[in-house]
Copies of this chain bind each other. A is one copy, B any other.
Amino acid sequence: MNTRIVLARRPTAWVDETCFAFEHVADPEIGPEDVLLQAVYLSLDPYLRGRMNEGPSYAPGFVLGQPIVSRVVARVIASRNARFAVGDHVWGFLDWAERVRVPRGEGLHKIDPALGRVSHAVSVLGMPGLTAWVGAIQIGQPKPGDTVYVSSAAGAVGQLAGQFAKRAGAWVVGSVGSDAKRDHLLARGGFDAVFNYKTTPPDEALRTHCPQGIDVYFDNVGGSTLEAALRHANVAARFPVCGMISAYNTDSDAGIRGLQAVLTKRITMTGFIIYDHVHQLPAYLARVAPWVRSGAIWFDEDIVQGITQAPAALVGMFQGDAMGKRLVQVAPE
């Protein structure tokens, strides 16, 4: 039997485990040209919250009663397709299930084992990494000596956004939601200062840690953090907007105050979604994979074991309990 996870109900505010249900279905059979996969890692990402709502977010919504879908790293366990051999590792947008049949192998990307760990295909060498690069470097355009502030700095994207900005010569400040994350990030390196936004008022923290003001604010959270960044921004600051997770799990919308700073300080806020930039992945890999191999860039994966833990792992991620990129391991690599 094959275990899969479906959307049982749509959340109205915070996601909880009752939004999900497990189903046990017959193992899939494959026809000509098909590929059979064993899921290895489910990728858990903040954007999944939007897909649980009714109506379109920037990705189509999940269907009630149908499987949750995300990026999944998988191993080929049977193949009638000449492009894929048993033992190959691939990633694709796949149902959350132990085993998945992929008709004609469509939409699967082979993972080059020379690049790094197979999980990296959905983390540092995949979309979270490219997201950090596009936002922190291409949109943020940090110059040596600039101050770059990154929220959700311990997250999959934030940890890399900070390190990329640091390599560009910026003074890099991160905010996180716990002292453990703060201490961990400071020990790991790549950030000049890190503060816990739950225990330090952001105005005080930004005054202390960004004495020259903020030139780039990499926004992962929106809300009052964005408001504080607007207050501390310098003239001509760049605000790549990557996420507004503070608004994802609520049905209220308090509004962002102080947006006049966009005018008075000539700030450019640029929302971006990585789907518009996937063509840049090969160039990104050519640049960043060597840094990962050499250890010039570190990357934390927070791997939860077992498909039965996936709902709790996702709920917890929205509550801030992940240290780095959260993955659910379904089977050995």
Do B253 and A262 touch across chains, with their CB atoms under 8 A apart? no
Per-position contact with B for A236-270: 1 when CB-CB < 8 Å, else 0? Answer: 00000111100100000111111111111111111
**Given known contacts A263-B242, A263-B243, A258 and B253 CB-to-CB distance under 8 angstroms:** yes
The secondary-structure label for the interface of chain A is loop
* Interface pick from A30-38, A96-104, A271-279: A271-279
Do B268 and A276 touch across chains, with their CB atoms under 8 A apart? no
Q: Is A200 an interface residue (CB 8 A)?
A: no
State A255–B226 Cα separation when bound (angstroms): 12
Do A269 and B272 touch across chains, with their CB atoms under 8 A apart? no
Do B266 and A269 touch across chains, with their CB atoms under 8 A apart? no
Residue of B nearest to A269 (CB): B269
As for how many copies of this chain the complex holds, the number is 2
Do B276 and A266 touch across chains, with their CB atoms under 8 A apart? yes
**Given known contacts A222-B259, A258-B253, A259-B222, A268 and B270 CB-to-CB distance under 8 angstroms:** yes
Give the chain B neighbours of A269 by CB distance below 8 A: 262, 267-270
Give the chain B neighbours of A264 by CB distance below 8 A: 50, 57-58, 271, 273
User: Which A positions have Cβ atoms within 8 angstroms of B?
Assistant: 50, 57-58, 222, 226, 241-244, 247, 253-273, 276
Of the A-B pairs whose beta carbons lie under 8 Å apart in the complex, a sample of 19, sorted by A's number, is: A58-B264, A222-B259, A226-B259, A242-B263, A244-B259, A253-B258, A254-B255, A255-B256, A255-B257, A255-B259, A262-B271, A266-B270, A266-B271, A266-B273, A266-B276, A267-B270, A267-B271, A268-B268, A268-B269
